[in-house]
Amino acid sequence: MQQTWNPKSKSEPYAQSAVDLMKLAKVTVDEFFEIQVGGRDELVQKLADGLDSLFQDYISFVASCGSKQSYIPALPQLTRCNQDSMVLQLWKKAATPCKAGIDPGLLHAPCKAGIDRRSFHPVRMPGGAGDITNHPRPTASRGTQRLYVRLNTLHYLLGVLHSIDKSLSFFSRPGPSPSPRTPMLSRRRAAGPTHFDLARSTVHAAILHVAEVAANRLIFLDSSQSFYDSLYVGSVAEARIRPTLRILKQNLSLLVSVLTDRAQPLAVKEIMKASFEAFLMVLLAGGSGRAFARTDHDMIAEDIANLKRVFCTSGEGLLSEEVVQKEAAVSDGVVSLMCLPTEKLVEEFSIMACEASGLGRSMERVPMPPTTGRWHRSDPNTVLRVLCHRNDDVANRFLKRAFDLPKRR
C-alpha cells in the first residue's frame, strides 16, 4: 500500500486511503444487514472480527513511521571542562569586536577569541530565510507535517470505528433485523456488546507512538539548529533561550492549524516532553561547546520558566499549568543542582554513587555510575554530568582524581 500522507482537503485533513477504507466498511455493514439470515449474532461476530483484523493492519501501516529514539542525538564522550588559561582570559578581555569576513547580518555579535563561532551565530532558517531572532518562522519540515496527517488519520479512524461499532451492537441485539436506515439516535439508545477491542487498543497505542515520533522529529531534527545545537554554546549569557522559544511558538501555531482538535492536546504534550528532554541534554550532554558556572543558574532557571510558560499559554490552553509543572518537575530538579557549590555537588555525587553501587556511604573509592539517560536530581550519573560541565578547579581536581577524566579539547 502506498500513501503520500497528504490531507484529503482542508476540511478533511486526513489520508484519502482512510476515507476509502472506512467507507467500504460502512457499506459492508449496511449491506450485510439487508440480508435476512439465521444465526445472525454469530455472523455479526465473524463480520466484526474480519473488520477488526483489517482495521488493525491499516492502523499498523499508519503507525509505521520509525522510532522517536532515532532523532535523539548520541551522548558525547564524558569529559571535564577546560579552564581557560590566564593568557586566554586576558586576550578575551582585550579583544575588540571582530567584523572582518563576517556576514553583515552578524555584525551585532562580537568575535570572541577561543570560543566556537556557533556560540553567537544567529540561527538561520534553511535556504537563507534570515535571522530567526528577527523573523521567526516555523521549522516543521514536510516530513513532520506528514506525521501530523497520520495523527489526524488515526483520530478519524477512531471516530468512524466508534460509529460502526454502534451499528453492529444495535444490529446484534435480539429481535427482528432493523433497517440500516434506522435513525442513529435510536441506535444509540440500544445497549449491546462492543466490537473492535483490539483495533481500538491498537489505534490508541498508534496515536501515542506517532505523536512521540513527530515531537522528537520536530525538536531534535527540525529545530536542532535553534535548540540543541546552539542553546548555551560558548556561554549562557550570549546564547539564551529566547530565539528558540520564538521558533517553538511558531511551530506550535502551525501544529494547531494542521491537526484536528482531538489530535492537538497529546501532540502538544509530547512536544513539551521532547523540549524538556532537549533542554536537559543541553545541560547534561551538551558536548565540548558548553560549560556552566554556578553564577549561570539564575539565567538557566529563568529560561526553563519561560519554556514552561510557552506551553501554558500556547495552543489556546491545550495544556493546564498543573500538567506542565508535573512534566517539568525533573527538569526543575536538575536545574536546582546548578546553583549548588561544587563541594556540595561532589559530596552528593559521592554518596549517591556509593549507595547505588551497594557500597553504602564508604567513599574510599567512588564508582563510576552507569549512564541510563533517565535524568533526575537524585541520579548519580546526572549529578556527575553537572560536575563535568562545572568549569572550576574543584570539579576538575575531583574528576581527575576519581575517574581520570580527560579535559575537553
Q: Which amino acid is at 284?
A: L
Give per-residue pLDDT as tens, 166-208. Answer: 888 766 655 544 454 444 434 444 444 578 999 999 999 999 9
Q: Is residue 78 part of a domain?
A: no
Q: Is residue 359 part of a domain?
A: no
Of the given ranges (19-23, 96-100, 329-333, 390-394), which has the lowest mean pLDDT?
A: 96-100
pLDDT for res 363: 55
Alpha helices (runs of H) in 120-173, residue ranges in sequence order: 142-171
Of the given ranges (17-21, 73-77, 166-170, 287-291), which has the lowest mean pLDDT?
A: 166-170
Give per-residue pLDDT as tens, 220-275. Answer: 999 999 999 999 998 999 999 999 999 999 999 999 999 999 999 999 999 999 99
Per-state percent for the chain, helix, strand, coil, to nearest 5: 60, 0, 40
> What's the whole-number mean pLDDT along residues 129-147?
75
pLDDT for res 32: 83
Q: 184 lies in which domain range?
A: 1-73+86-92+107-288
pLDDT for res 36: 61
User: SS3 for 286?
Assistant: coil
User: Is residue 117's pLDDT more than 90?
Assistant: no
316 burial class (0-12, 13-18, 19+ CB within 10 angstroms)? exposed
pLDDT for res 359: 66
Return the percentage of the chain with pLDDT > 70, whole number: 76
Phi, psi dihedrals of residue 329, rounded to the nearest 5°: -60, -40
Give per-residue pLDDT as tens, 25-64. Answer: 999 988 887 776 655 678 888 889 999 999 999 999 999 9
For every residue of 297-333, DSSP letters joined together read: HHHHHHHHHHHHHHHHHSTTT-S-HHHHHHHTHHHHH
**Would you state the cell numbers that stand for residue 180, as one nine-digit string?**
440500516
Q: Which amino acid is at 322?
A: E
Give per-residue pLDDT as tens, 362-374. Answer: 556 788 998 888 9
Q: How many domains does the chain have?
A: 1
Give per-residue pLDDT as tens, 60-101. Answer: 999 999 999 999 999 888 888 865 543 344 444 444 443 333
The pTM (predicted TM-score) of the whole model is: 0.81
Q: Are 92 and 84 in contact (CB under 8 A)?
A: yes
Q: How far apart are CA 354 and CA 94, in angstroms?
A: 46
The overall average pLDDT reported for the chain is: 81
118 burial class (0-12, 13-18, 19+ CB within 10 angstroms)? middle
pLDDT for res 406: 82
Tell me which residue has cell 481500538: 200
